[in-house]
Amino acid sequence: MAPDSPVIVSAAALVRSRRRAAFADFVRRFRRDRLAVTGLVVLVGFGLMALLAPWVVDQDGLSAVASLDNPTWAGPGGEFLMGTDHLGRSVAAQFVQGSRVSLFVGLMSTVLTIAIGSVVGIVAGFFGRWTDSVLMRLTDWFLVIPFLPLAIVLASVLGRGIWNIIFVIAITSWPSTARLVRSQVLTVKERLYVDRARALGATQVHVIRRHVLPNVAPLILASATLAVPISILTETTLAFLGLGDPTQASWGKTLEEAFQAGAISRGAWWYYLPAGLGIVAVVLAFTLFGRALEEILDPRLRDR
Amino acid sequence: MRPRFVVGKVLGALSTLAFVVVVNFFLFRVVNDDPVESMFRGRNLSIEQKDRLRQQFNLDGTRFEQFAAYVRELLSGNLGVSLQSRRPVTTEIGEAIWPTIALVGTATTLSMIIGISIGIRAGWRRRSRFDVGSTTFSMFTYSVPDFWLAMLVLGLFSVQLGVFPTGGLQDAGTTATGISLLLDQLHHMALPCLVLAIAYLGEYAIVMRSSMLDTVREDYLQLARAKGLRDVDVRRRHAVPNAVLPVVSLSALNFGFVLSGAIAVESIFSWPGLGQATLQAIRGPDFPMLQGLFLLFSAAVIVANLAVDLLYGVLDPRVGGR
Amino acid sequence: MSVLELRDLSVTYRTESGDVPAVRGVNLTIADGDTLGLAGESGCGKSTIAGAVLRLLPASTRVEGQVLLGGEDVYAMNPGRLRAVRWTSAAVVFQGALHSLNPVHRVGAQIEEAIRIHGLGDAAGARRRAGELLERVGIPASRASRYPHQMSGGQRQRVLIALALACDPKLLIADEPTTALDVMVQAQVLDLLAELQRDHGLAMLFITHDLSVLTHACRRLAVMYAGRIVEEGAAGEVFADPQHPYSRALANAFPTIGDPASRMRPSGLAGDPPDPSALPSGCPFHPRCSLAVDACDTTDVQLRSAGVDRSAACVHVGPS
């Protein structure tokens, strides 16, 4: 049989079609996990709410001055869907507005955490030996420092503000990401094709970019999704303790104000219930989504 | 355990502690170059008075001289004087530490025991109703902010139902002593302890379950069964001793989180422990107290990590053995 | 009465993608003190049989037929009887000793456990006996306090053998006992097994993919392919004069000692073992068989007599 003239397919096109197929496979698997899909839907919902907040929320509802005529401590129903707080402000307005800071800080600090952790992890894992020992020592040090005392100290010293919070969360969270990334890099390094690339004379940067990163990226993505819940919970705690930005509404701040105003002893559950539920919903959604992501991207976890 | 293993771990812990001391010192000097100025701003003090204060607080001399003085004091057990109460920091901490130890100690023990037991059962019979139920429960408790749970619990059991007190270590103005005092204190500790335990057992359950799922595939379980062991014994004697190892490591990591959680929960229940002390110090800001507390918290976590590392060396003969 | 008898044993694994028949209608008999080797490539079902004898297969597996251990059907036993029979009637020496031994228990303790479960000794007695067993397999009794990771591969395999003998079983099932070992150590372990078998009059079921090992260790030999026994007979005869094309290919894959020419032309076998969930029609071997004829595609060949105490499942084998 005479051979047909070979179809010339560029390497890039081949890679693209393979990536597309992999993505389609990923979407298919993801759709099957109903919990994960629910999580995604919840996240999109909250995300939209946060983004649209400035237009949806009646800014007057947040201001104590403008709420002077409102009934204070009013239960849910009637004019105020979720009731009012001790100053007469609308709880619903605070809920919607508060989602912005909680989500923003959660996401930004995770981005920073992942950035620092990945760089440290990749450098430590790839270059090994001395660099590895030094970086791992550093990581262990940071891992041991309990986040809240550090956050308190930093907030007292640097002052309150959103970016300080983001910085604090990142400073205390990057070690675990670094550890994870490093062990994955070590696994990849063992694989032969890295040696082969080296033997072919590839520079280290090239090897990192082409071989290490693509294999480590999925893990980083999955752990990022699971790191967001922790960031959000941390921000909430910091805001509750009075270390958050005093000028911005956040769910943690709502809880702090509720507590300070004596909502518990008054039985004004509508003041502190929604914010907490919001946190639980968002954190759960991220966790479900992240676990599904992790399972799909790491075949070893599939049988769980 | 090999001596080299133990020594290595102890040295590691000490070096981490040293790092913490350095960070602790310089952190506070970052913004606050002259604490005396900021502390006594608005008060009319002469230069001599300020100098004397600086000497008293070890704030004269260069940074490094100050650091040396700081370390010297540290080693002799002096953590400075609280700005708010004027009492030695060590005294303040000494009073606040026992309630926190009692609370955190009990809560950690409870969450470990319950969480691990749940995880073992869930992982042994994967996809059973118990597994699905407990995993869902664990995910929920993991997502709940501990202090919010405290608020809910307080609102429900204290305010609404009146079954438990609303806060404090014991009933205000109580004259009880001995056993009845202890019982009263336990009564007050019940809710915060419950909240902390529930908030953290989820993590243990999830990790234990994961670990069991890994262990269940191991070949030595098949051999154990082939020898004629009952299922229960296979689980208890062969699976669990292996599966529990990662959880032991986790407990060290978790300890830092539990301590941090205690700070927030203590405030809700007005529990007079280190958490309350910390919050009060934030409001000052009472820098010597904050410095002392930070050092204490970090030291506690470092020691906990060391203890767990050594324990791991005992439990797993492949680590730290001959 | 035979020590082990498999009657029409069929084992089907239930997986997410459907049923996978690992063993399809196997008949086997091992008499007291007799030794049978079971050879075949990976995936032919031989390890499944090892698991089936002591009912160690996963709960989702479907088992049909009978497994008679000392005349009793293992699959009809109640749990208590099954646990009593395990290790005392038959014991297994698994492959991969590093993973078969519990890493957090000392090796001595693991042997003692077997003794004490079956009430064959108290604490002191069990410890003594464990020491004796270790000495018997060539390991100093003092090593009983060691952990598995502190021993070499060969030593661990011997520990598994010592463990298998702990309750004086009548049948020893060796599932690829030498696969993970170096050649020198392999020889030692094989010699040890042969010695123990002679001294204790053990019946042995020796499972392996390495045919050359079996000819010296076993009196009889059975070859498995795609879940079925395709040839059976006296070991020497089967190896020297294989009747089934597959056995022939298997035998030829190993150079014969004393025949320099055979070293020069080891013959491999083209193709791969069939996927158990998608077996070829008729004789499962026919796609790879050089002697295949049309009938092979349609006839589901069973074992037929190929001589005195010999049988093979091939259309070319007829009554002689």
Burial class (CB in 10 A: 0-12, 13-18, 19+), C11: buried
Using one digit for the tens of pLDDT, what is the confidence trace for C152-210? Answer: 888 999 999 999 999 999 999 998 888 777 878 888 888 888 888 888 888 999 998 87
The arrangement of strands across the sheet holding C18-30 comes to: C18-30, C4-15, C62-69, C72-73
Q: Which residues contact B58 (CB under 8 A, 6 or more apart)?
A: B66, B69, B70, B73
Q: What pLDDT sits at residue A304?
A: 46
Answer for the pair A253, A239: CB distance below 8 angstroms, yes or no: yes
Answer for the pair B50, B40: CB distance below 8 angstroms, yes or no: yes
**Which member of B226, B228, B317 has the closest CB to residue C84?**
B228
Q: What pLDDT sits at residue A72?
A: 76
Query: How many whole angstroms separate alpha carbon C30 and alpha carbon C36?
Result: 7
Answer for the pair C9, C26: CB distance below 8 angstroms, yes or no: yes
Before A149, cis peptide (omega within 30)? no
| Cβ–Cβ below 8 Å for B226 and C113 | no
**Interface-testing mutation among B223, B319, B322, with chain C (most C C-beta atoms within 10 A):** B223
- In sequence order, what DSSP letters do the residues of B129-143 get, joined into one string? HHHHHHHHHHHHHHH
- Of B258, B223, B257, give the one whose Cα is nearest residue B238: B223
CA-CA-CA-CA torsion sign (B253, B256, B257, B259): positive
The domains located in chain A, with CATH, are: 18-61+79-297 (1.10.3720.10)
How many CB pairs below 8 A link A and B? 139
3-state secondary structure of C38: strand
| Cβ–Cβ below 8 Å for C114 and B222 | no
pLDDT at position C269 over 60: yes
| Cβ–Cβ below 8 Å for A153 and B148 | no
Q: Kindly report the nearest CA distance between residue B304 and chain C, in angstroms.
A: 23
B contacts of A140 (beta carbons < 8 Å): 12, 16
Distance between start and end Cα atoms, chain A = 50
Q: Identify the residue with better confidence: A115 or B178.
A: A115
C contacts of B234 (beta carbons < 8 Å): none
C contacts of B218 (beta carbons < 8 Å): 99
The arrangement of strands across the sheet holding C228-234 comes to: C90-93, C171-175, C203-208, C35-39, C220-225, C228-234, C310-312, C304-307
Q: Kindly report the nearest CA distance between residue B305 and chain C, in angstroms.
A: 22
Mean pLDDT of B47-56: 70
Complex ipTM value: 0.85
Q: Kindly report the nearest CA distance between residue A194 and chain B, in angstroms.
A: 29
Q: What pLDDT sits at residue A108?
A: 92
Token pair belonging to B241: 């001793």
Q: What pLDDT sits at residue B238?
A: 93
- Of C75, C62, C42, C56, give the one whose Cα is nearest residue C173: C56
Q: What pLDDT sits at residue A192?
A: 56
3-state secondary structure of A225: helix
Neighbours of chain C (3+ CB pairs under 8 A): B
Answer for the pair C202, C33: CB distance below 8 angstroms, yes or no: yes
| Cβ–Cβ below 8 Å for C117 and B316 | no
Please tell me the least confidently modeled range out of B197-201, C2-6, C272-276. Answer: C272-276
| Cβ–Cβ below 8 Å for A304 and B19 | no
Using one digit for the tens of pLDDT, what is the confidence trace for A7-46? Answer: 666 777 777 787 788 778 778 777 777 878 888 888 888 8
Answer for the pair A280, A255: CB distance below 8 angstroms, yes or no: no
| Cβ–Cβ below 8 Å for C104 and B316 | yes
Nearest CA in chain B to A146: B256
Q: Which residues contact A259 (CB under 8 A, 6 or more apart)?
A: A240, A272, B151, B267, B268
Query: How many whole angstroms separate alpha carbon A296 and alpha carbon A302?
Result: 7
pLDDT band with cut points at 50, 70 and 90 for residue C85: very high
pTM of the predicted protein model: 0.81
Q: What pLDDT sits at residue B57?
A: 61
Q: What angle do CA A273, A279, A283 make, to 5 degrees?
A: 145
Answer for the pair C168, C89: CB distance below 8 angstroms, yes or no: no
B contacts of C95 (beta carbons < 8 Å): none
> What is the signed CA dihedral for A137, B254, B298, B272, rounded to 10 degrees?
180
- Of A68, A38, A82, give the one whose Cα is nearest residue A272: A82
A contacts of B213 (beta carbons < 8 Å): 303-304
Most confident of the following: A161-175, B132-146, C271-285: B132-146
C contacts of B315 (beta carbons < 8 Å): 104
Answer for the pair C166, C92: CB distance below 8 angstroms, yes or no: no
- Of B155, C150, B146, B23, give the one whose Cα is nearest residue A276: B146
Residue B189's alpha-carbon distances to A260, B112, B148, B170, C57, in angstroms, are: 21, 18, 17, 9, 50
Residue A82's alpha-carbon distances to A91, A270, B145, B151, in angstroms, are: 6, 6, 21, 18
**Which member of A148, A153, A157 has the closest CB to residue B263?**
A148
- Of A256, C75, C112, give the one whose Cα is nearest residue B229: C112
C260 CA to centre of own chain: 30
Q: What pLDDT sits at residue C197?
A: 87
Please tell me the least confidently modeled range out of A65-79, A99-113, B118-132, C252-266. Answer: C252-266
A contacts of B20 (beta carbons < 8 Å): 141, 144-145
A135 half-sphere exposure, CB direction, 13 A CA radius: 24
Instruction: Tell me which DSSP letter residue C181 carries.
Output: S
Q: Kindly report the nearest CA distance between residue B171 and chain A, in angstroms.
A: 17
Kindly report the number of other CB atoms within 10 A of residue A40's CB atom.
18
Q: Kindly report the nearest CA distance between residue C84 and chain B, in angstroms.
A: 6
- Write out the residues of chain B at the interface with chain C, using a CB-CB cutoff of 8 A: 218-220, 222-230, 237-238, 241-242, 315-318, 321-322
pLDDT at position C113 over 50: yes
pLDDT band with cut points at 50, 70 and 90 for residue B119: very high
Q: Taking each helix axis from N to C terminus, what angle separates C123-136 and C153-164, rounded to the nearest 10 degrees?
A: 130
pLDDT at position C7 over 60: yes
Between positions 140 and 169 of B, the ones with CB within 8 A of A are: 140, 142-148, 151-152, 154-155, 158-160, 166
Amino acid at C70: G
Q: What pLDDT sits at residue A302?
A: 53
Q: What pLDDT sits at residue A97?
A: 86
Query: How many whole angstroms separate alpha carbon C150 and alpha carbon B281?
Result: 54
- In sequence order, what DSSP letters do the residues of B250-308 get, joined into one string? HHHHHHHHHHHHHHHHHHHHT-TTHHHHHHHHHHTT-HHHHHHHHHHHHHHHHHHHHHH
Widest distance between CA atoms in chain C: 67
How many CB pairs below 8 A link B and C? 69
| Cβ–Cβ below 8 Å for A144 and B267 | no
pLDDT at position C266 over 60: no
Q: Name the one residue in this structure whose structure tokens are 């139902």.
A: B161
3-state secondary structure of C276: coil
Q: Phi, psi at residue C277, to the nearest 5°?
A: -90, 0
B189 in contact with chain A, both atoms CB, cutoff 8 A: no
Most confident of the following: A53-57, A121-125, B228-232, C278-282: B228-232
Low pLDDT (below 70) residues in chain A:
1-9, 60-61, 67, 156-157, 191-198, 201-202, 204, 207-208, 298-304
Q: What pLDDT sits at residue C112?
A: 94
B contacts of C161 (beta carbons < 8 Å): none
Rg of chain A (C-alpha set): 24
A contacts of B279 (beta carbons < 8 Å): 241-242
Q: Phi, psi at residue C19, to the nearest 5°?
A: -85, 135
C contacts of B228 (beta carbons < 8 Å): 83-88, 114, 117-118
Rg of chain B (C-alpha set): 24
